[in-house]
Amino acid sequence: VSEICGADSGRSLGRAPRRPVTRLVLVRHAQTAWNLEGRAQGHTDVGLDETGLAQAEALAPYVAAMAPTALWSSDLTRAQQTATVLASATGLDVRSDRRLREFDAGERAGLTTAEFADTFPEAYASWREGHITGHVPGAETVADVVARMVPALREIWESTPAGETTVVVAHGACLKVSLLAFLGWPDPLLGTLRGLDNCGWSGLEDDAHGLGIRLASYNETAHPAVHGPDFASDAPVG
């Protein structure tokens, strides 16, 4: 019995030993005052508030425990500040890529949900029905964001050595649509993914049998979730 159940039992039973798993961890930035107020941020460069800084500090030991070997971030301040806290915990340098930015929110930028509804009622109605931007004037389309985000994520994935972990800090809406495209899931499934909380993370990993990339976890957090004022319609672009 000891020979069958010992350390070499996998080989004894004809199973190949598990190979190291390569991982990509996608993190939404910590909270800003505009997140709390329900204002769409898009490319507006808003920094973290006190709660956001605390969220990033709470997240840091979890990320450090993942032993990442690379840390990437959007170039917007809220992502950079979140990534800087993670860098201090991991000893890594932050690598920036502007392709990891949030949707450009167009003329919705800076508006609360109520202001959005009053100013652009048709776009607001479309947003309530599930469209990420509601086709508000000047906003990037899903295709625009996927066209820049997915190549960036693929390059980061392909640069991650086998068996190692890379962390990417970006934004809620762009991560949601690019995750779907990165995994090759059909577009109608977008509505089945809720938005990421601030400092929520999702894990991607290569399949142990070499069958591709799979979603290992979604919207894990190291702090109590703080939802915006209109969570039923998902978080504003930010």
Nearest-angstrom CA–CA distance, 2 and 88: 46
Other C-beta atoms within 10 Å of 183: how many?
Answer: 13
Catalytic residue among 102, 140, 171, 223: 102
Please name the helix (run of DSSP H) or strand (run of DSSP E) that holds residue 37, with its range, or none: helix 33-37
The answer to whether residue 135 is catalytic is no
Nearest-angstrom CA–CA distance, 22 and 32: 31
* Start-end of H helices in 66-189: 77-90, 113-119, 121-128, 142-159, 172-183
Please name the helix (run of DSSP H) or strand (run of DSSP E) that holds residue 53, with its range, or none: helix 50-65
The answer to whether residue 29 is catalytic is yes
Other C-beta atoms within 10 Å of 212: how many?
Answer: 9
Nearest-angstrom CA–CA distance, 40 and 26: 21
**Letter for the amino acid at 235?**
A
Nearest-angstrom CA–CA distance, 221 and 136: 31
Residue 73, strand partner residues: 96, 169
Please identify every residue annotated as catalytic: 29, 102
